[in-house]
Amino acid sequence: MITLKNINKTYYTEATSLHVLKGIDLQIDKGEYVAIMGASGSGKSTLLNILGILDNYDLGDYYLNNKLIRDLSEKQAAAYRNEMIGFVFQSFNLINFKNALENVALPLYYKQISRKKRNIIAMEYLDKMGLRDWAFHLPNEMSGGQKQRVAIARAIISQPQILLADEPTGALDSVTTVDVMKVISDLNTSGLTTIVVTHEKSVADEARSIIHLKDGLIERIEKRAF
């Protein structure tokens, strides 16, 4: 499903450059649950952003469902993000003037689905997340755990093939972390390919394989048995 060959990424500033990914080769199959771990600056978030087509890479090849991502136009990339990939971020990235229902329904707006229909679907997803009663609340009226569950609902409403989560529990307390990771694990169990970037061992332990990054390279891949 996902094939990375010799992926390199360098960030340039006026004075310096920072070679963050130094040749990543990786294969992730459909339905896998992968955690990416590493110290700060190891390149784990950069790798996730490239996987999510939120950022580009300088060198190498990235194939998603056998399609070379480098060749995608901005419009095609948007369509891929909308239909194939769901994102969950540490800082939730909800639109603060939209209520939970509107936030969840937003990806469907870009799929040209009518307001009435997308609101019905969004309500179903909120219900699945146990947030039906919070549908008309704004993000700033909700707790961190609730916000993250809204973000997860938004990420999966388009029925993507891949869920990318960047430190999904980074802003949550330990109890809420367990709740959120349960939701993510359940999604993976239902067949959703899941890639989670985390620095928390307990979170990574939910995954079936853990990729350890160090200085922009894959140090090792730890396969876990359940």
Partner 1 sequence: MDILQEILSGLKHNMLRTILTGLSVSWGIFILIVLLGAGNGLKNGVSSNFSQRATNTVQMWSGTSSLPYQGLKSGRALDFSDKQLTNVDQNLSEASDETGIIDKQSTISWQNEYGSYSVKGVDPYYSTIFNLKFDNDGGRFINEMDLKENSKVIVLDKKIADVLFKSKTSIGEYVRVGEVEFKVVGVNSKKERWGDGSAYIPFTTAQIIFNPDRKFKSIAMEVNGLKTKEANDAFNDKLKKSMSKSLRFDPNDTQALWIWNSQRQYIQTMKIFAGITLFVTIIGIFTLIAGIVGVSNIMLVSVKERTREIGIRKAIGARPGSILLSVIIESILITTIFGYIGMVFGVGLTELVNFVMVQSAASNPSDTGMSVFKDPTVQLSYVFVSTGILIFSGIIAGYMPARRAVKIKPIEAMREE
Is 148 one of the binding residues for partner 1 (CB under 8 A)? no
Of 75 and 220, which has the nearer Cβ to partner 1? 75
Is 26 one of the binding residues for partner 1 (CB under 8 A)? no
Size of the site for partner 1 (CB under 8 A): 29
In which element (H, E) is residue 193 found? strand 193-197
Is 87 one of the binding residues for partner 1 (CB under 8 A)? yes
Of 129 and 210, which has the nearer Cβ to partner 1? 129
**The only residue of 26, 72, 79, 171 in contact with partner 1, by rule CB under 8 A:** 79
Query: Count of H helices and E strands in the chain?
Result: 7, 10
- DSSP conformation letters of 81-108: HHHTEEEEETT----TTS-HHHHHHHHH
**The only residue of 70, 110, 189, 201 in contact with partner 1, by rule CB under 8 A:** 110
Contact 121, 156 (CB under 8 A): no
Handedness of CA 123, 126, 131, 135 (dihedral sign): negative
Of 81 and 212, which has the nearer Cβ to partner 1? 81
Q: Whole-angstrom Cα distance, residue 115 to residue 92?
A: 23
Query: What character string, x for contact with partner 1 (CB under 8 A) and - otherwise, covers 154-173?
Result: x---x---------------
- Stretch near partner 1 under the rule CB under 8 A, chosen from 31-39, 72-80, 184-192, 205-213: 72-80
Is 98 one of the binding residues for partner 1 (CB under 8 A)? yes
Query: In 3D, which of 209, 60, 83 has the Cα closest to residue 155?
Result: 83
Is 83 one of the binding residues for partner 1 (CB under 8 A)? yes
Q: Whole-angstrom Cα distance, residue 60 to residue 81?
A: 20
Query: In 3D, which of 154, 176, 31 has the Cα closest to residue 102?
Result: 154
Residues near partner 1 (CB under 8 A): 49, 52, 54-56, 74-75, 78-79, 81-83, 87, 89, 93-95, 97-98, 102, 106-107, 109-111, 114-115, 154, 158
